[in-house]
Structure 1
């Protein structure tokens, strides 16, 4: 599937009905989700088992399944987001298992983790449990972080290594009262990490 076709399909994914500020719930925009997923597909990382940590409304998990992942699991602590994710998966005709759990309690093993963890803007270090769970349960990780996180991520994930990183635009819609603009574009860094076993 071409990246543009995937992006068009992912535009059908419904956003959060009620964003939780403390969870830093921002849905990954469909152009960025399609870009990351297509890159992972081209690397051969979506051919087997995939998990989406902090899956929210399911955009990365659903996209992985659309690109042919054998099994896909989506984990989140917010049951309301998971209900929307289930609706989104049905709407797009894919089978994804969504599980309500704390990210630190994720068990098992998959080939690839996809995630857009909290950036830690509200609570510093909020992305660390996501990184720890991904490192413990997968071979390859694709993760979105605030621009300027490279040195921290490299140190935190050792002995795992970043094989690819690039800067991307992440448009944020006005979601919370403290947001001043209707739409703001921030820069994020996308990392592909391989875990040493």
Structure 2
């Protein structure tokens, strides 16, 4: 395998070469992140092991390679970078918060994926994009604990632009029933593929513990 250069002690393979799932996880975990999250935006970084697993699932489903990917509320770019390194031809990244965008651009440069990722500043709920701009949305939207229903707004926005979505949402039976029902209303089918135990670090002042563990569902919507 050919390597480009060192990034924080980690060798980064050429994008065209195959990364192992573990190497991708390590690379993603070494990207820069925010020390303090924006509370009203519910910014939660996607852990490297979850991001790498999601794009690996997308590869197994044959829905990511040589496809255009969309990430709404992309934060510091974890899922976009994971997508192009897993074989996506391009990723459109939509983020509203300036500090996250700055860090994302640094991460894109350090992973040498800048020729395949377009970063747009905008509201993920009303993104400045046209229907059909992408083939697949891969997202970790706000969970809707601060503003109820935000995760569904992101999901509907993504599906107005591309036919398929892989999206993370808080796990509970009411949410599963609600998401399934709302997707049927727009002619879509939602299926839970996997449940993750996600660790959230203390990035908001109102968090009482340094690490919280929550269950999140990975949905595929088609």
Normalised-by-shorter TM-score class:
over 0.9
Deviates more, 1:161-170 or 1:35-44: 161-170
2:56 is aligned with 1:38: yes
Question: Cα RMSD (Å) of the superposition?
Answer: 1.2
Contact 1:111-1:138 within 8 A present in 2 as well: yes
Question: Equivalents in 2 of 1:165, 1:155: separation in Å?
Answer: 17
Contact 2:141-2:154 within 8 A present in 1 as well: yes
Q: Secondary structure at the match of 2:58?
A: helix
**Shift in Å, 1:9:** 1.2
Contact 1:131-1:157 within 8 A present in 2 as well: no
* TM-score (normalised: structure 2): 0.84
Q: Secondary structure at the match of 2:150?
A: coil
- Aligned counterpart in structure 2 of residue 111 of structure 1, from 116, 131, 135: 135
2:159 is aligned with 1:138: no
Unpaired runs of 5+ in structure 2?
Answer: 1-18
Q: Secondary structure at the match of 2:197?
A: strand
2:51 is aligned with 1:21: no
Partner of 1:128: 152
Contact 1:135-1:157 within 8 A present in 2 as well: no
- What whole-Å deviation, never above 9, does each CA across 1:109-138 have from its counterpart, x for those lacking one? 211001111111111111122011111111
Q: Secondary structure at the match of 2:142?
A: coil
Runs of 4+ in 1 over 3 A off after TM superposition: none
Question: Equivalents in 2 of 1:44, 1:6: separation in Å?
Answer: 18
Partner of 1:185: 213
Contact 2:202-2:211 within 8 A present in 1 as well: yes
Partner of 1:153: 179
- What whole-Å deviation, never above 9, does each CA across 1:93-124 have from its counterpart, x for those lacking one? 10211100111322222110011111111111
Contact 2:32-2:103 within 8 A present in 1 as well: yes
* TM-score (normalised: structure 1): 0.94
Contact 2:46-2:140 within 8 A present in 1 as well: yes
